[in-house]
Structure 1
Amino acid sequence: MAGVSTESLKKVEQVLAANIGANPDHLAQELFAVVDVLDENGGLRRGLTDPSRSADSRASICSTIFGGKISESAIKVVQAAASARWSNERDLADSLEQAAVEASAYSAEANNGVQGLENVINELLTFINSVDDLAEAQTALTEERASNDAKQKLALVLGGNPQSAEGKLLIERVAKAPRGATPARLAEKFVDIIVKQQNRSIARVSTARPLSEAQIEKLRSGLSKAYGKELKLDISVDPSLIGGLRVQVGDDMMDGTVQTRLSDLNRALTQR
């Protein structure tokens, strides 16, 4: 995605996060179902991306088509996507596909924290590696005469029979609806989405010297409170920092190291 679609995707993600609810795995299934409807119905897709219609009108179409068929949380996410502007009509369905994967990631994290995300990533990677290593598997998964059920069963075997509900859903999904890609390449896209979600749950901490257990616990508590969820700390020691801490959570960076302060001071002095 590019341009206006990138900004619209961010809005969809914000609505998803605000409406994730108590059953994000089910929400993921609902959003995937909406993607299928959009992919199969060009008229609906064009209607929901028609710039001559108002945002309210496009949202109203969603209520008419999907109301009573999916949850209120799913309706809100779909309406957010339909109300937004997209560079091309395919981006609408792509944004909901990404939202579905993110909902699966929320589910995995809710069930088992950062390790839950790691488990789903590993299950997808097992599938990808198996497919890439077996030309016969690639052929079987793209065989037009094979049923979706047969492809999904094969995909689960190639994925090492995933134990997580989220891994199972996503692997079945890439086999059933690769949407113009190959199953393995779509699985790679799903991995990238989940890794970004994982990075938002890990605080990467750089420190000039080792922290005590008390300091680590205080840091973990403060960061978790600030972000509203339990964060996993990934701590590395870098003596070149001289003192202080550098903390990164997703795209957020907090740099209180002596090295950075000295660099800022030197920059200020040289600009005088």
Structure 2
Amino acid sequence: MISEIVYSKYSQAMFNIANEQHKIEQYDNELKTIRDTLQMNPSLQKFLVHPRVPERVKKHIIFEIFADDVSPLVLQFMYVMIDRRREGALAAAIDGFIDLSRAAQNIEVARIHVIKPLSAKEEAELVAGLEKLTGKKIEPLYTADPSIIGGIVIRIGDRLIDGSLLRQLQDMEHALLQANVTNEVTDAK
């Protein structure tokens, strides 16, 4: 709870500045770049949270890695977190900003599980349909999931759309078992 309060203050402060400057989308994209880089490089995360690495060295590495890809304000956001020894909450603060950004832009995340990647046309049609269904812009996050056997499973917030072959087979099995129980009851008379 305490760490959530800490990183949410940083997220909110960064969001407020982005909103004032009318740069929510720009900073959102830049912070996603940082988040993705941190996720792909666990050694960088360990380096940033290591207590024996001086702050100036951490800032220098951050500058070297991100200066060409992000604005000075986004760099300053990371520097402030380093100065205040909040490096461990950096990823959470970025995610908090992204959540605030999505809400402000009326964007909903759709977690989409498919057996194999969709074509660009299929993706565009799916996103358009989901946007029509929800009345919001959709940010799709695709996951290849062979366990669904076929079809598609979509989670948007607390809504679940399960069009998987696995689910259809389970429904069929349930219906057959129910029919079998009904037949056994009627045969017993």
Give the TM-score normalised by structure 1: 0.43
The reply to whether residue 168 of structure 1 matches residue 80 of structure 2 is: no
Of 136, 153, 158, the residue aligned with 1:228 is: 136
Which residue of the partner structure matches residue 157 of structure 1?
A: 60
Which residue number corresponds to residue 186 of structure 1?
Answer: 89
Higher Cα radius of gyration: 2
Tell me how far 1:256 sits from its aligned partner: 1.5
Q: CA deviation at 1:259?
A: 1.5
- Does the C-alpha gap of structure 1 residues 175 and 257 become closer, same or farther in structure 2, counting only changes over 3 Å? same
1:260 aligns with 2:167: yes
User: Which has the higher relative contact order, 1 or 2, with Cα contacts under 8 A spaced 6 or more apart?
Assistant: 2
1:103: which partner in 2? 15
Provide the rounded CA distance (Å) in 1 between the counterparts of 2:84 and 2:74.
15
- Offset at 1:223? 2.3
Deviations 1:36-91 (A, max 9, x none): xxxxxxxxxxxxxxxxxxxxxxxxxxxxxxxxxxxxxxxxxxxxxxxxxxxxxx68
Taking structure 2 as the reference length, the TM-score comes to: 0.56
1:214: how far off?
A: 3.4
Aligned to 2:153: 246
Superposed, which structure 2 residues align to 1:48-87 within 5 Å? none
- CA shift for structure 1 position 254: 1.8
How many corresponding residue pairs? 165
Which amino acid in structure 2 is aligned with residue 245 of structure 1? I
Structure 1 pair 241–102 and aligned structure 2 pair: CA distance change class (3 A): farther
Q: Which amino acid aligns with 1:157?
A: H
Q: Percent identity?
A: 17
Q: Which consecutive residues of structure 1, in runs of 5 or more, have no partner in the other structure?
A: 2-89, 142-150
Q: 1:219: how far off?
A: 0.6
Deviation at 1:264, TM superposition (A): 3.4
Structure 2 unaligned segments of length 5 or more: list them.
182-189
TM-fit CA distance, 1:262: 2.4
1:119 deviation in Å?
0.8
Name the CA shift for 1:177/1:122 in 2 (closer, same or farther; >3 Å). Answer: same
Change (3 A) 1:261 1:156: same
- C-alpha distance in structure 1 between counterparts of 2:78 and 2:136, whole Å: 30
User: In structure 1, the residue corresponding to 2:137 is in which secondary structure?
Assistant: coil
